[in-house]
Amino acid sequence: MTLTGKTAVVTGASSGIGEATARLLVREKCNVVLAARREDRLNSLAAKLGEGALAVPTDVTDPAACDDLISRAVGNFGTVDILVANAGLGLYGSIAQGEPEDWRRMFEVNVLGVLYTTRAAVRHMLDRGSGDVIFVSSLAGRRVPRADGTVYAATKHALTAVAEGLRMDVHTKGIRVIKVEPGLVRTEFPESSYPNAREYYAQREYSPLEAEDVAKAVIYAVEQPPRVSVNEILVRPTEQPK
């Protein structure tokens, strides 16, 4: 199915998987609305992608900002066909030594932020009778990778419930719900908890995925004909043991 002329909203678009997904969507001749907090990066990316790209600085933890994001997308391009809910945060520490503020921030971004953007987009999609909602989750939504990632994994397990509940609600209304669960991906993500992302990846025993690998999984799912709903895609590095 062609994506030409469709409009996609991508959160967390200022770097990593979000940026890579936005680039591929533009390559497929989509209009793309770029959402993230870093306005300078969004504006720079929008300028590179051309007139089909719109930068909308957005804090996904603010429900009014998420409503405005979708309103601006519809106002500029007439519709929202695809939501890629990609914004996420990982802060690591054991339960005993963890910081409650870190836990709150992760749930606000990884769960509530997804709910806020999804609610705004799905309301529009229900009026149109079609749409694709893509949650960029994690392998941590299926298992706890290690003890210091327990709370991060809890947010991604919550996202698994959100995705399935939404699918049950809208699958007869022309809306597909797709969850993409990457293993280790080379992005800026570790910099929230580690001094240097390059050193973090150098310590791994296998090569990570690249952001474009995950973006290609998103494109694969949304390019399927309307009768096909690819609800879950688990993609991990070939050498990743678990």
Q: What is the DSSP secondary-structure string of 138-196?
A: -GGGTS--SGGGHHHHHHHHHHHHHHHHHHHHHTTTTEEEEEEEESSEESSGGGGTSS-
Can 116 be counted among the known catalytic residues?
no
Cα atoms in the Cβ-side hemisphere of radius 13 Å centred on 2: 3
- Residue 240 within any structural domain of the chain: no
pLDDT surpassing 90 at residue 204: no
Kindly report the pTM of this predicted structure: 0.94
DSSP 110: I
pLDDT tens across 96-130, in order?
999 999 999 999 999 999 999 999 999 999 999 99
- Residue 104 within any structural domain of the chain: yes
Give residue 88's domain range: 7-234
- Residue 239 within any structural domain of the chain: no
Q: Please give the backbone phi and psi of residue 106, each rounded to the nearest 5 degrees, phi first.
A: -65, -45
Q: What share of the chain is helix, strand, coil (3-state, %, to 5)?
A: 50, 15, 35
pLDDT surpassing 90 at residue 229: yes
3-state class (DSSP) for residue 11 = strand
Beta pairing partners, 7: 31
- Residue 224 within any structural domain of the chain: yes
- Residue 61 within any structural domain of the chain: yes
- Residue 242 within any structural domain of the chain: no
Which residue has tokens 């990457």? 182
Q: CA separation (Å) from 117 to 24, 133, 142, 200?
A: 21, 10, 23, 31
Q: Confirm if 56 and 32 have CB atoms less than 8 A apart.
A: no
Start-to-end CA distance of the chain, whole Å, equals: 33
Catalytic position from the list 92, 116, 152, 206: 152
- Residue 2 within any structural domain of the chain: no
Closest CA to 114 of 142, 138, 134: 134
More confident position, 53 or 192: 53
Q: Considering its fold, how many domains does the chain have in total?
A: 1
pLDDT tens across 50-101, in order?
999 999 999 999 999 999 999 999 999 999 999 999 999 999 899 999 999 9
3-state class (DSSP) for residue 68 = helix
Rounded-to-integer distance, Cα 233 and Cα 204, Å: 23
pLDDT surpassing 80 at residue 1: no
Q: CA separation (Å) from 170 to 114, 120, 129?
A: 16, 14, 10
CATH number at residue 95: 3.40.50.720
